[in-house]
Structure 1
Amino acid sequence: MSKTEEANEVKYKVAVKLLNIMLRNGIITSSEYEKIDDLNRQTFTPELSKVYV
Structure 2
Amino acid sequence: MEQQKVIDEIQYYQAQKLTDMLYENHLISFDEYDKLTELNRQTFSPLFVDLFPKTLDKSLKKS
| Same fold per superposition (TM over 0.5) | yes
More contact order relative to length (CA 8 Å, sep ≥ 6): 1
Listed as ranges, the matches of 1:1-53 within 5 Å are: 1-53=1-53
Gaps of 5+ in 2: 54-63
**Max radius of gyration: which structure?**
2
Q: Cα RMSD (Å) of the superposition? A: 1.1
Q: Secondary structure at the match of 2:28?
A: coil
TM-score (structure 2 length as normaliser):
0.75
- Richer in helix (by share): 1
Number of paired residues?
Answer: 53
**3-state SS of 2:21 partner:** helix
Output the amino acid matched with 1:31. D
Identity of aligned residues (%): 34
- Flag as ranges the 4+ runs of structure 1 deviating above 4 A: none
**CA distance in structure 1 between the aligned counterparts of 2:31 and 2:44, rounded to whole angstroms:** 20
